[in-house]
Amino acid sequence: MVQTTGCANIVPPLGGPRDSIPPVLVSASPKDSALQVKDQKLVLTFNEFIELKNSSEEVLISPYPAKQPLIESKLKTVTIRLKDSLRPNTTYSISFGNSITDLNEGNVLKKFRYIFSTGSQIDSNELSGKVVLAETGKTDSTMYALLYSKQEDSTVAKETPRYVAKVDAQGNFQFTNLPSGTFYVYALLDADGNKKYNQPIEQFAFLDSAITVTGNTKPVTLYAFAAEKEKPKEPPRVAPAKGEIRSLMSINNLDAGAQDFMDSFKLSYQKPLKRFDTGKILLFIDSAKRVTDLFIKNDTVNKKLILYTTWKQGAAYQLFLNKDYAADTTGLAATRNDTITFRVKTEKEYGSVRVRFKNLDTSRHPVLLLYSNDQLTGSYPISGKEWYRKLYKPGNYQLGILYDTNQNGIWDAGEYFAKKKRQPEIVLQLNKTFQVKENWDNELEITF
């Protein structure tokens, strides 16, 4: 992390028009774009009192230092003390992002950069590109693009990169003032702040081959993936009332008291169930008739009871959970009888969906993805020019296309440390919101 210090607050005079102009650099030592620089202390002087904000995130030095510098702000100056020895014949660029503001009004000196060279010229090559999250097709502005001068599998885990660039909200990045040469390009969501890829839960991306940087280098696109999913954090435990498991139970899929007749009924628990007794779980229809085709099972982590039956549309149901029907691994149990009342939806409460595709390459094994509030609600392989469902739950959906390389119906992450590296499968966000209305024929056309 960049070390910073600052001066005491200075109270500005009152009155007069509001200052809307950001600070202006009036001098620098060494001068901006100076050559043959040997001094590791850099001093930048501005035309007014300044403040340095969030410098550990905003300030980036290229080449990226092994030892983080000390950056101090005082009155009208910013002083940078580089702790690494300067490399010979190298162009250095210090990007301050939006960290420099004037003290009085907080006007930001946006994207300010300071450049110098230890050699006889300023390198001017650039490399730009974009980082896309492969699983969602979205972007993440907290990621970094990384350049290395050598390629060994362990390099990205053990060594700091040669150059670092921030990714913006649209996923774009740009390296400036690069020397000509060969580089290996990566991207990383740096969870621990060391700019090294050493956690499989970190979003990571790599290009399959090296890039030769010259005066006219084409942009690149990287697709980031997490090799492993981060385990969800345990929710804070709610103190139960007299050991009653009911306070730690939730009903998953009732919509305003109505059950989807094409889905199972689910009860979730905060802690794994140690046991449950199906004989003490009874389902009745229309208050009197017991449902006999009820099948109950637990999920793979023992935190969910799933009830299967053939639902009768429009009917009223009562689920009776008798005393001591279940207990979890902490000893909490059902200490009293419980009843859950709900109804089952009818076909009129759904809408039909028809999506037509133009210019969709079916040889890439596309899968249509539907999201609701950024949660994947359905995935459907596409083999032709049209996809149709007679009954679909009403709501607003976002659409995406998964190119399912191995045809297993799900998105697969990439592999970097394997002998044969593999890029992740790619999801293309269609940037369309599709509203499904109940009791309506909903149609959409998508052109690729």
Other beta carbons within 10 angstroms of residue 161's beta carbon come to: 25
Note whether 72 and 4 are within 8 A (CB).
yes
The reported pLDDT for the residue numbered 239 is 55
The reported pLDDT for the residue numbered 93 is 97
**Amino acid letter for position 333:** A
The reported pLDDT for the residue numbered 245 is 79
Contacts of 132 (CB under 8 A, 6+ apart): 138, 139, 171, 221, 222, 223, 224, 426
Tell me the per-residue pLDDT of 89-129, one tens digit each, with 9 for 90 and over: 999 999 999 999 999 889 999 989 999 999 999 999 999 99
Question: What residues pair up with 357 in beta bridges, in sequence order?
Answer: 446
The reported pLDDT for the residue numbered 191 is 79
| DSSP per-residue string spanning 211-239 | EEE-TTPPPEEEEEB-SSPPPPPPPPPPP
Residue 75, phi-psi category: left (phi > 0), alpha (psi -120 to 50), beta (remainder): left
Note whether 270 and 355 are within 8 A (CB).
no
121 vs 116: CA distance, rounded Å: 9
258 vs 345: CA distance, rounded Å: 6
Extract the residue ranges of the chain whose pLDDT is less than 50.
1-2, 4-12, 241
Q: What is the largest CA-CA distance in the chain?
A: 92
Q: Is 280 helix (H, G, I), strand (E, B) or coil?
A: helix
Domains of the chain from N-terminus onward: 3-117 (2.60.40.1220), 125-224 (2.60.40.1120), 245-345 (2.60.40.3710), 349-447 (2.60.40.1120)
Q: Please say whether the dihedral angle defined by the alpha carbons of residues 342, 347, 351 and 352, taken in this order, is positive or negative.
A: positive
Q: Can you give the pTM of this predicted structure? A: 0.82
Note whether 299 and 306 are within 8 A (CB).
yes
Burial (Cβ within 10 Å: 0-12, 13-18, ≥19) of residue 147: buried
Taking alpha carbons only, the member of 126, 139, 206 closest to residue 168 is: 139
The reported pLDDT for the residue numbered 8 is 40
The reported pLDDT for the residue numbered 80 is 97
SS3 of 31-55 = CCCECCCCCCEEEEEECCCEEECCH
The reported pLDDT for the residue numbered 92 is 97
Tokens of 299: 């999920």
| DSSP per-residue string spanning 105-138 | T--B-TT-EEEEESSSS---EEEEEEEEETTTS-
The reported pLDDT for the residue numbered 14 is 53
Q: What is the rounded end-to-end Cα distance, in angstroms, of the chain?
A: 44
DSSP annotation of 271:
S
